[in-house]
Structure 1
Amino acid sequence: MLWHTLTLDFEGVNTSETADLNPFTDYRLLVEFSNGETSYLIRGFYAADGEAENTSATSGNIWRVRFTPDAVGPWTYKAQFHKGENIAINRDASVGEPIELDKAVGTFDVAPSTATGVDFRASDRGRLRKDGRFFRFESSGKYWLKGGPNSPENLLGYVGFDDTYRLVKRSRDGEASTEGEIHAFEPHRKDWNEGDPLWGLKSGEPRGHSMIGAMNYLAEEGMNVVYFLTNNITGDGNDVWPYVSPTEFDRFDVSKLEQWNVLFDHMQSKGILLHMVTQETENERLLDDGETEFYRSLYYAELISRFGHHPALIWNLGEENGPSSWMQTGQTDQQRKDMASFFAENDPYDHTVVLHSHAAAGDIDHIFAPLLGHAPLDGMSLQIENGEDVYETTRNWHKRSTDAGNQWLITMDEIGPWFNGALPDSFDPDHDDLRRHVLWGHLLAGGAGVEWYFGGRFPSSDISAEDWRTRQNLWTQTRYALEFFDQHLPYWKMGDCEGVIARPDVYCLAVPNEIYAFYMPGRGSSMVYLPELDAGEYIVDWFDPKRGGNLQTGSVRRLGKGGGQFIGYAPNTETTDWVVLIRKQSN
């Protein structure tokens, strides 16, 4: 069906993860899928016995390709299997010694999707792409904002996945402690529902209840993105890697990666974007000393082959990438450009590519200024130390990237300081500063979405968090913001509104002479200076960003023909902050 993954298995060379002739480097499966004038060249991968997620197999003769069609109707495929030294990272189909495959050519029909709701495979959703400053669905053209957890970043350091363990237990300044065990997410076992997927089904011990349950919980709370690392060797968690061992970078753990994919499939069905972060600052030079040469190319090619078929996915090139004021070593400007270029050249689905920043303004500028105008990089994954800086920082980098000829999509993905982040509800039940400065500040600056980092020192930290219910109030307030933007604002065509409101502490987004949205801190009011209208008037509504609900009416319902006017007072004095929505009303 449309936007649903087609999996083709071929019986090829019978080998193993540890075979002398390395199946991950010295064989290559390429499959061309065609529909009329549209064609995709998709790289396949070694799949052991074809059931490794359930058997934990390390050997077999199954070679697999996954493809997500973007059009209904008849399709054809043609597979080519080759052998050759390090051929796996060469996409030239003419290179290598050919190996004959049965059923190498075939046809199939794609029917309309039957998925509905938030499922990314629904007919009105489909692949999520960057369009200017925002994400947009390829199928319907509808714009979309993200909101959800940035933590725990070591989500995949989970007891239910094969060969997953912590390399080093430690506690050091500047990061969350890893002295505890890897994740079990036991509080979310109750959120697993009968019929939900599991893995290890042929091992006598089905696994994944708590992980799948956690995704169910987040989806029920209206969250639509989760941030996670795919390699944190030598990093903060030291418990996530795709390899058969943390010291061999050319052999992949087939069963672990297939188990990851069961999780990713479920996340897509629940409307959860995969924010896939490929490395962190401590290991950015682990592969090829930071270059995009053999080991890094192989790593990225495997990620694309095994997971690129998912409709909603972000490639994040690295967390806190590059040298900083507190770490002098890191990748270079050219190495960052080369990573982005690799995905642009090798991801057939053209998923969004971003880079995560350091927190300090000087470090952000040092790393990102040289990347302005580099077309393969789609945007910034911001980390900012102080919430008060979010609004202006987002606006500033939008302008700089636009002026450079490649407008960036900017997301607010980690709020500092590092030891606090977004505290549990038990410490900060109202989240007033986060709501005002980070959530609404970012969105009203034209940002594409917010993810919440859990900090490093408080309980339920960026590494140790086991229960997402510890921030339920934050999820609720995030959902209110996303719903407001989705229901009331054409945010994709809105911009700055300098000089419109007579308060410097108000965040604002507008289409002049049409619609204005203001975040008003406190119980005060303001004068607004609106353009004169040829005909019509302005309607004033108020929205409670903390408690949600419907739009409300304040003391002034209608404004006149423009100029300086008093917008009135809020509907009540119990709510401290308000969002004011002013819209042109035609006669």
Structure 2
Amino acid sequence: MKSFIILLLVGICLGCGEKIKEANLTNYQQWHTITLPFEGPDTKEDAAENPFLNYRLIVEFKHMETQQSIRGFYAADGQASETSADSGNVWQVRFTPDRMGKWTYTAQLQQGEGIALKGDDFEGVSIDITNASGEFMVIPSDKQGADFRTHGRLVNDKGYFRFKDSGKYWMKGGADSPENLLAYEDFDGTYRMQSSNEDGEAKTNDTIHSYRPHLKDWKNGDPTWKDGKGKGLIGALNYLSSKGMNVAYFLTMNIKGDGKDVWPYASPDNFTRFDVSKLEQWEIVFQHMQSKGILLHMVLQETENETMLDDGDTGPMRQLYLREMVARFGHHLGMNFNLGEENGYAEFTPISQNDAQRRAMTDFITEIDPYNHPILLHTHSHEPYRGYILDSIVGFKNLDGLSLQVDKREGAGEVMETWKTKARESGHEWMITMDEIGMWHTGAQSDSITPNHDTLRSNVLWGTLLSGGAGVEWYFGARNRYNDLNTEDWRTRDRLWELTGYALDFFQDNLPYWEMKANHKRINSNDAYCLEKPGEVYAIYLTDSKEHTIDLTAAEGTFQIQWFNPLTGGEMHLGTVSSIEGEGIRSLGRSSSKDNQDWVVLLKRTQTAK
């Protein structure tokens, strides 16, 4: 409270990295990233003494209640996003403090052959650096609304996203496409290696993303780099946020994959040298996403390249790649790692990681990530390939869940419920998100073709969320005009974002969904979906306006009935029956509207039986 009063008196609004002086200490805000620079030896990306392999920066942050060891990274001149520098003497560390009060830090830069691949307790030759120790104060965050710095870090809890510090649960909805979001012309060193015209892939030419339709969505005060670059992508993210969406899916490496236009390296054929300026420009975009409350769904590889590094093992090249991703971006509050798109064997991708390799990669990310981000596995779209892989790894403690792909949308809810149940029975609850809906060639089409996205709305959006899903993302298919690789304008699915937002609002405003389980048989309709906390609350999706019943034989008390329109969102409505009693099979009545459409029914117990 004392620190908060001081902040008010000073009257300074702190942004990420902004600071004030109080009692001779630098003050930072809770959940705002701190970037500390250290000057060491002059080097460059292609130096004979590889700065990514043969140097290691470790910074120990200590608080009276906790301490954390955070890896740093080579940052060229420390301003590479603006200068495009590939040389310099600056190393940096990024740290996001979760506790208020006084922190101290000590930094050590060491040199040695392959030391970046060694554990933190391995000793190398110590290198003198500036700013090697210090202390600072952490005061309350001034953020509000969707900004992740309002609530803190997202973790997996009970199969759902939860803010670790505030305890608030959170559900995602947003864009799975374009998967090559980072193939953007304003990023340094970014181009398409080869166009694609293969069956089973979206067609490409030599043009990468500009996001020009979203230039109008960039606002004064939004970030840019290099004298105005970045406005198209920043504007696109502004638009997505304005529709209430809170997640974007992107690959960080698609060498050999569909797009062949995203990689973190200085060159796509050398996996030991990273493009510092490009990665700094990615970081500007990622910071903006966090300020807009957009989850970073970071997909680490693609099915075509999952054995490119170390033949699929977590050997030196994969370890280096993962360490760089965690060191540079792991500080973000809203992020999950994805082991890779369509991971594992299928007929069309027979050269693939096996179960042991998936487990090893998962274990390594768990080991090196100081922030405990959820780790998900993106699945194949159908049986038997999905089951071959998942039956082997279900129950594995370090895998948080699935990034689910389903080919036939009418079965999406059943697939979700099946794997939620299998995971629960294994003793390790899985977070499962519905991230890619088929068929592969169609996915979510433009609003101009399917104005209300009827089958997606029914079977996928409501069907999977009411089957235990922790969120949904929309894949744009391979054969649509605006597809998974070439989409420049998210407005092509404007109505789909609206429909998704209505569902997210319903869940966040009305349900303790993290305490509920699917039980579709509760309703006398084969097409209905039901998520329940038995005897307390039931959320039911009906595909029509007919009168249906619910089995409340084992429930006691009085239940209020309200109706929600999934096409318009907004307020709840009363129907022809306002309340029902438990201990029997009861009619839900009908919506007061005469429209023959789908509806969501909410039952909440208002009083217990006498």
Contact 2:192 2:206 in 1 (8 A): no
Match of 2:344 among 293, 313, 322: 322
Structure 2 partner of 1:559: 580
Task: Give the structure 2 partner of residue 401 of structure 1.
Answer: 423
Q: 1:216 aligns with which of 231, 234, 238?
A: 238
Counterpart for residue 447 of structure 1: 469
Instruction: Find out whether 1:154 has 2:175 as its counterpart.
Output: no
Match of 1:250 in 2: 272
Preserved CA contact (<8 Å) 2:523 2:549: yes
Tell me the residue number matched to 1:101.
129
Q: Deviations over 1:381-405 (max 9, x none)?
A: 0000011111111111111112212
Question: Is 1:130 the equivalent of 2:156?
Answer: yes
- Confirm whether residue 519 of structure 1 aligns to residue 541 of structure 2: yes
TM-fit CA distance, 1:361? 2.2
The answer to whether 1:53 aligns with 2:103 is no
RMSD, matched Cα: 1.1
Residue 247 of structure 2, aligned match among 205, 221, 225:
225
Tell whether 2:563 aligns with 1:542: yes
Deviation, 1:345, is 0.5
One-letter code aligned to 2:314: T
Q: CA deviation at 1:582?
A: 1.2
Question: Where do residues 367-378 of structure 1 align in structure 2 (5 Å cutoff)?
Answer: 367-378=389-400
SS at match of 2:234: helix
Which has the higher mean CA deviation after the structures are superposed, 295-304 or 36-45?
Answer: 36-45
Aligned-partner SS, 1:343: helix
Say whether 1:577 aligns with 2:598: yes
Q: How much has 1:360 moved relative to structure 2?
A: 1.0
**Which position in structure 2 is the counterpart of 1:291?**
313
CA distance change for structure 1 residues 59 and 26 in 2, over 3 Å: closer, same or farther? same
Q: For 1:569, give the aligned amino acid.
A: R
Provide the secondary structure at the position in 2 that maps to 1:361: coil
Answer yes or no: is 1:84 the counterpart of 2:121. Answer: no
Deviation at 1:498, TM superposition (A): 5.3
Please, which of 266, 274, 280 is the counterpart of residue 288 of structure 2? 266
> Which runs of structure 2 are paired with 1:428-467 in the superposition (5 Å)?
428-467=450-489
After alignment, is 498-507 or 239-248 more displaced?
498-507
User: Residues of 2 paired with 1:243 and 1:38: CA distance?
Assistant: 35
Assess if the C-alpha contact under 8 Å between 1:497 and 1:512 holds in 2.
no
Which of 446, 466, 469 is the equivalent residue of 2:491? 469
Tell me if 1:496 matches 2:524.
no
Match of 2:223 in 1: 197
Paired with 2:207 and 2:45, the residues of 1 have a C-alpha distance of 28
Q: CA deviation at 1:532?
A: 5.7
Identity percentage over the alignment?
Answer: 51
How far did residue 81 of structure 1 move? 0.8
Per-residue CA deviation, residues 76-133 of structure 1 (Å, 9 max, x unaligned), is 10111100001012132441111122321111100110111100011xx110000021
**Structure 1 stretch 553-562 or stretch 206-215: which is displaced more?**
553-562
Shift in Å, 1:528: 1.5
State the AA in 2 paired with 1:559: I
Cα distance, 1:110–1:335 mapped onto 2, change above 3 Å? same
* Separation of aligned partners in 1, 2:525 and 2:503: 22
Q: 1:206 to 1:93 in 2, by over 3 A?
A: farther
Aligned partners of 1:62 and 1:167: how far apart in 2? 31
Does the C-alpha gap of structure 1 residues 533 and 406 become closer, same or farther in structure 2, counting only changes over 3 Å? closer
d(CA) in 1 for partners of 2:481 and 2:206? Answer: 12
Does the residue aligned with 2:155 lie in a helix, a strand or coil? strand
Find the counterpart in structure 2 of residue 36 from structure 1. 64
**Given that residues 175 and 247 in structure 2 are in contact (C-alpha distance below 8 angstroms), is that contact kept between their aligned partners in structure 1?**
yes
> How many residues align structurally?
580
Instruction: Find the aligned partners of 1:24 and 1:521 in 2 and give their Cα distance.
Output: 56
User: Which residue in the other structure is 1:173 paired with?
Assistant: 199
Question: Deviation of residue 327 (structure 1)?
Answer: 2.2
Give, in whole Å, the separation in 1 of the partners of 2:454 and 2:446.
13
Contact 1:544 1:575 in 2 (8 A): no
**1:27 alignment counterpart:** 55
- 1:227-251 deviation line (CA, Å, top 9, x unaligned): 0000000100000000000000000
Q: Is the 8 A contact 1:357 1:380 kept in 2?
A: yes
CA distance in 1, matches of 2:240, 2:86: 33
In the alignment, the residues of structure 2 paired with residue 241 and residue 575 of structure 1 have an alpha-carbon distance, to the nearest angstrom, of 49
* 1:558, distance to aligned residue in structure 2 (A): 1.5
Structure 1: 4+ residue segments shifted above 4 A: none
What's 1:509 paired with? 531
Partner Cα separation in structure 1 for residue 316 and residue 582 of structure 2: 65
When structure 1 is superposed on structure 2, of 483-492 and 172-181 the one drifting more is: 172-181
Kept after mapping to 2: 8 A contact 1:80/1:93? no
Bigger drift between 577-586 and 256-265 goes to: 577-586
Q: Equivalent residue of 2:278, what SS?
A: helix
Deviation at 1:496, TM superposition (A): 2.8
Amino acid at match of 2:376: V
1:466 shift after superposition: 0.2
Q: What amino acid is aligned across from residue 421 of structure 1 in structure 2?
A: G
The DSSP-based 3-state class of the residue aligned with 1:126 is coil
Give CA deviations for 1:176-202 in whole Å, capped at 9, x if unaligned.
Answer: 0112510000000000000100011xx
> Could you say if the C-alpha distance between residues 531 and 513 of structure 1 is closer, same or farther in structure 2, counting changes exceeding 3 Å?
farther
- The more displaced of 466-475 and 173-182 is 173-182
Establish whether residue 111 from structure 1 lines up as the match of residue 111 from structure 2: no
Name which of 142, 159, 165 aligns with 1:139. 165
* Range with greater deviation from structure 2 (288-297 or 205-214): 205-214
Q: Distance in 2 between matches of 1:219 and 1:27?
A: 39
Structure 1: gaps (5+ residues):
none
CA distance in 1, matches of 2:246, 2:469: 16
TM (norm. structure 2) is: 0.94
Scaled by the length of structure 1, the TM-score of the pair is 0.97
Distance in 2 (CA, whole Å) between partners of 1:126 and 1:575 is 43
Secondary structure of 1:63 counterpart: strand
